[in-house]
Amino acid sequence: MPYRVCFVCTGNICRSPMAESVFRARVAEAGLADLVEVDSAGTDGWHEGDGADPRTVSVLEAAGYDSDHAARRFQAAWFARLDLVVALDAGHLKALRRLAPTPQDAEKVHLLRSYDPAAHADLDVPDPYYGGMDGFEECLEMVEAASVGMLTAIRTEVEGRTV
């Protein structure tokens, strides 16, 4: 059974689809694409069915990442099939932990930047939606930095399952 990861932000059009694309690329580069499934969603359903924000698409494509995406809202029932739920900021972390059906499900929720050893006290990935392209570029940098540590942690989990 694959290890399943879902990245979650507010509307699932900026930060979480960016994290999904970057992490899916890291998983493929590591040769783990058959063992790790990567997805994303939003805490709210405002943009359900929409593609990623055009600025997200632009930043991803400029960096060589896939940008195919359709927004959707995270559902509490998904906890049963997910191994890791990755929140992009503290607000998402709280919302997801409240939504979790069990204490074990709540323990599956972690902040993305908690996987970045260079990140300090502020572990939020700021929402770039209301700003310019520089916010999207900063978001990509944060996502890429955290993806390295996250891949290391997940690789350990995946290898533990196959031994």
Domains annotated on the chain, with CATH: 3-162 (3.40.50.2300)
pLDDT score at 160: 76
pLDDT tier, 142 (very low <50, low <70, confident <90, very high otherwise) = very high
Q: At what angle do helices 133-162 and 54-62 cross, to 10 degrees?
A: 70
Active site residues: 9, 15, 127
Residue among 112, 105, 104 nearest 86 (CA): 112
pLDDT tens digits, residue range 7-31? Answer: 999 999 999 999 999 999 999 999 9
β-pairing, 84-87 with 109-111?
parallel
Alpha helices in 5-110 (DSSP H): 15-29, 54-62, 90-99, 103-106
pLDDT tier, 161 (very low <50, low <70, confident <90, very high otherwise) = confident
For residues 148-153, give the mean pLDDT. Answer: 97
What is the identity of the amino acid at 57? V
For residues 139-150, give the mean pLDDT. Answer: 98
